Structure 1
Amino acid sequence: MSSPVTDTTERRGLYKAFAASLSGTSLEWYDFAVYSSAAALVFGDLFFPGSDPLTGTLQAFGTYAVGYIARPLGGIVFGRLGDVIGRKRVLVATLLLIGVATFCIGLLPTHAQAGALAPTLLVVLRFAQGVGVGGEWGGAVLLSSEFSQAGQRGFWASAAQVGPPLGTLMANGVLALLAGLLTEAQFLSWGWRLAFLLSAVLVAFGLLIRSKLEETPVFKELAARGDRPTAPVTEVLRTQRRPLVAAILARVGPDVLYAMFAVFVLTYATKELDMSRGQAVTAVLIGSACQVGLIPFSGYLSDRYGRRLIYGIGAIGGAVWSVVFFAITSSLGTLILGVVIGLVFHSLMYGPQAAFVSEQFTARLRYTGSSLAYTFAGVIGGALAPLAFTYFLAKTGTGYVIALYIVVACMVTLVGLRLGSAVVDDEDLAVSRA
């Protein structure tokens, strides 16, 4: 039985891990999201100028996709390191990588200043962002989940899941503030750069928190037993194929839904509905703010009622709502309503996702397995979705084809949930306690 001192120490470690996971992923997703928003709003004009605005946006989303395509490399490299040398040290490296890349984007010349060199450098830095994010998620999830107790893992693991909406909230908030304070000419000329340069301050804060964090109890126990893998990627592909496929498929729907209601909706509102940048960003801000509370609540619900049930409700609801969204959205009010409800269904999937994915893999391979699932699903789901949405809108002039795409993605998620294990091996996930 644990002593009061031990309980207090473990609880303090859990709180610190939750804060490190939340703050680190929020800062990294600020970096990633500020690029996503800028790709929808300004990068088409600045780095890919052309006569057709939608073509420029399509090219800008092409560089957005590069960030997702780079994630598997980050997942392979940093996932392996996370299972071999530990969670904490890897997470410091990933935060530093994405922060430096984002800061450098703020210093880039535009196409008018440097020609083809400008979009080339943008793609390189976006690739570096993707590598960092690819290595981040698996470790951030394990930080809080491996400190937590059985029956509470859905809630505590959701710390990493709050990072994307909180990062999106900060990114769009900064861009909205800059767009409101500056003229359009000033914003396009230099104002957008401030959002990227701010990354240096935010990353320094995140590094300070992570540098003081202890290694997770689970990894300490694995190290003490000498049970760390030597070739974790190969071992996952050889022994954990079904869990890997289940985790990948389960992630497709949430990625596509997020790409619609937090990224592409900015383009849809400004290009198709003739709304201002500020109105479009406001809708995403409100939806992201709601998610900050909804995601951990969904994680809690999954502890109580089961991961697959809550996750599945979100997938079915997201599929249905995507059709309704394009039917009702014509004004700012309906846009806000549509985004908020869309992100509610996303939260029902995203909250349980961290625990569901990590629980598919054994402890000694969990960083690698979770990272591979996260990154490969990102390529299938998040990378292709904005490109597909932009193409379908340009070719058909209607959102219903986009809705069909989302419906299919959510059905893929249901298949993944069916393939995945609903049984949590608490002896494997938790550490023994004196």
Structure 2
Amino acid sequence: MSTSPLSPARADPSGVARQTSTARVIFASFIGTAIEFYDFYVYATAAALVIGPVFFPHGSATAQALSAFVTFGIAFVARPIGSFLFGHFGDRIGRKSTLVASLLVMGLSTTLIGFLPGYDALGSIAPILLCVLRFGQGIGLGGEWGGAALLATEYAPAGRRGWFGMFPQLGPSVGFLASNGLFFGLALTLSDSQFREWGWRVPFVVSAALVALGLYVRLKIAETPAFKAAVERKERVRVPVLTLLAKHGWPTLLGSLSMVVCYTLFYISTVFSLSYGVSALHIPRQTFLGMLCIAVVFMGLATPLSAWASDRFGRKPVLIVGIVAAILSGFTMAPLLGSGSLPLVLLFLVIELFLMGATFAPMGALLPELFPTSVRYTGAGVAYNLGGILGASVAPYIAQVLAARGGLTWVGAYVSTAAFVSLIGVLCMRETRDTNLM
């Protein structure tokens, strides 16, 4: 008797096989995004702490931070390219093999960054190679999320797609907690000189072991029922991206706009706030990293709560409430983060990351629901990653410039504006909760 993830319920009257295979699919969708986002957040944290001095040892600390944040943004430019590339094969060949390939690209790029010599050893070649590997990170992540979301939602039972789509959305919380926790441990055990010399490389190298785990899990899953049905009906299109642009441009745009708030909340409250807290507020690095570890737990708590609500009340109502709260949260940045008081700074981080989880969770179901099976991998991935360009690629850079010129009040206004952009996208969008993915 088959116990693959695609085994029909009638294969086991007791339902045990169906439950076991469902758990396998859920874990495969979760573990992949956890590892991929671990890799991505490792670089984000390093960019805020050491990438500038190691690879761009010129000018002031502000100039170094800006240079590091430029390399941070490169991956977001690469992500839509990755979503086009992997989306093509995901819609043409299948979800499983494409997800394996995206994990390999991401993991290899991250591990190599850990072994890359700095400017002192290679000169100007070092930042060039860093940019190349950072671009590779973006390509891999561009193909990861859409496939993981489809893996969960295309196998979800009726009425529970938001809940199933929540599991890849939990990956970022766990990935961030793992990467930030590792940096936190290094900050506690190493001196500043040791950390800058070699300690920051450890989380990058650890990625290799995590990728091996992810590959093991993903190689044991099979294709989703929706994709198999599309193959049997001969619904695959020759060039998915052309079909997407020609027939599904509007939902792609709205999906991209809806994602802006998630990215902005996260990267302003982590990457920018970490850099600002350490450099401008003079909060010890390990202290700020510890506060981020606490705050991201609230992001993880908000994720299942919001996913459940999206199944109960619909995607749009839940997102509208979360986005309106995010708009208001921009006004708390100056009084809370700017105070320099550790309890108030922690409160700001908790608010922002809780709202990130609340707005991010429904996206695991909503973005796949916007597109038909023939272009779903491409469409969900492109919408997700175009939102990354708008909401995250330049967010830390812009925040750094705004903080230098106008203070945290301007940065808070930037957060509110980004959330308002997402509100427009969601209001123009149709409710997708009852969409049939088959």
Does TM, scored on the shorter chain, surpass 0.5?
Answer: yes
Residue type of the alignment partner of 2:415: I
- 3-state secondary structure, aligned to 1:420: coil
Q: Do 1:243 and 1:421's aligned partners in 2 also have CA atoms closer than 8 Å?
A: no
Quote the Cα distance in structure 2 between the aligned partners of 1:335 and 1:343: 12
Q: Deviations along 1:155-198, whole A, 9 cap, x unmatched?
A: 11011111112111111111111111111111100111111100
Quote the Cα distance in structure 2 between the aligned partners of 1:323 and 1:50: 35
Of residues 346, 352, 356, the one that matches 1:346 is 356
- 3-state secondary structure, aligned to 1:198: helix
| 2:40 is equivalent to residue 20 of structure 1 | no
Q: Do 2:48 and 2:272's aligned partners in 1 also have CA atoms closer than 8 Å?
A: yes
Quote the Cα distance in structure 2 between the aligned partners of 1:8 and 1:415: 44
Q: Do 2:311 and 2:433's aligned partners in 1 also have CA atoms closer than 8 Å?
A: no
Quote the Cα distance in structure 2 between the aligned partners of 1:147 and 1:293: 24
- 3-state secondary structure, aligned to 1:212: coil
Residue type of the alignment partner of 1:156: F
Q: Do 1:265 and 1:280's aligned partners in 2 also have CA atoms closer than 8 Å?
A: no
| 2:368 is equivalent to residue 358 of structure 1 | yes
Counterpart of 2:217 in structure 1 is 209
- 3-state secondary structure, aligned to 2:389: helix
Query: Which of 262-271 and 94-103 deviates more?
Result: 262-271
| 2:216 is equivalent to residue 194 of structure 1 | no
Query: Which of 240-249 and 88-97 deviates more?
Result: 240-249
Counterpart of 1:407 in structure 2 is 416
1:127–1:350 Cα change, 3 Å: same
Q: Deviations along 1:275-297, whole A, 9 cap, x unmatched?
A: 11111111211111222232122
Q: Deviations along 1:189-244, whole A, 9 cap, x unmatched?
A: 01111111001111001100000011111111111111111111011111112211
- 3-state secondary structure, aligned to 1:429: coil
| 2:301 is equivalent to residue 293 of structure 1 | yes
| 2:320 is equivalent to residue 312 of structure 1 | yes
Of residues 5, 12, 15, the one that matches 1:5 is 12
Residue type of the alignment partner of 1:73: I
Counterpart of 2:5 in structure 1 is none
Of residues 335, 346, 356, the one that matches 1:336 is 346
Q: CA RMSD in A?
A: 1.4
Q: Deviations along 1:71-105, whole A, 9 cap, x unmatched?
A: 01100000111111010100000001111111100
Quote the Cα distance in structure 2 between the aligned partners of 1:311 and 1:385: 21
Residue type of the alignment partner of 1:416: G
Q: Which runs of 5+ in 1 are unaligned?
A: none
Of residues 419, 423, 431, the one that matches 2:428 is 419
- 3-state secondary structure, aligned to 2:394: helix
Q: Do 1:248 and 1:373's aligned partners in 2 also have CA atoms closer than 8 Å?
A: yes
Counterpart of 2:3 in structure 1 is none
Of residues 383, 386, 398, the one that matches 1:373 is 383
Percent sequence identity is 36
Counterpart of 1:392 in structure 2 is 402
Q: Aligned residues, how many?
A: 428
Q: Do 1:67 and 1:130's aligned partners in 2 also have CA atoms closer than 8 Å?
A: yes
Q: Do 2:336 and 2:347's aligned partners in 1 also have CA atoms closer than 8 Å?
A: no
Q: Deviations along 1:232-262, whole A, 9 cap, x unmatched?
A: 1011111112211110110111111111112
Quote the Cα distance in structure 2 between the aligned partners of 1:62 and 1:12: 44
Query: Which of 105-114 and 123-132 deviates more?
Result: 105-114
TM, length-normalised to structure 1: 0.96
TM-aligned CA deviation for residue 382 of structure 1 = 0.8
Q: Do 1:54 and 1:394's aligned partners in 2 also have CA atoms closer than 8 Å?
A: no
Quote the Cα distance in structure 1 between the aligned partners of 2:226 and 2:319: 26
Quote the Cα distance in structure 1 between the aligned partners of 2:373 and 2:434: 10
Quote the Cα distance in structure 2 between the aligned partners of 1:170 and 1:365: 33
| 2:114 is equivalent to residue 114 of structure 1 | no
- 3-state secondary structure, aligned to 2:82: helix
Query: Which of 237-246 and 139-148 deviates more?
Result: 237-246
Matches within 5 A, 1:46-125: 46-125=54-133
Q: Which runs of 5+ in 2 are unaligned?
A: 1-7
TM, length-normalised to structure 2: 0.95
Quote the Cα distance in structure 1 between the aligned partners of 2:305 and 2:146: 21
Quote the Cα distance in structure 2 between the aligned partners of 1:312 and 1:172: 30
Q: Do 2:95 and 2:151's aligned partners in 1 also have CA atoms closer than 8 Å?
A: yes
TM-aligned CA deviation for residue 395 of structure 1 = 2.2
Quote the Cα distance in structure 2 between the aligned partners of 1:224 and 1:292: 38
Counterpart of 1:249 in structure 2 is 257
TM-aligned CA deviation for residue 4 of structure 1 = 7.4
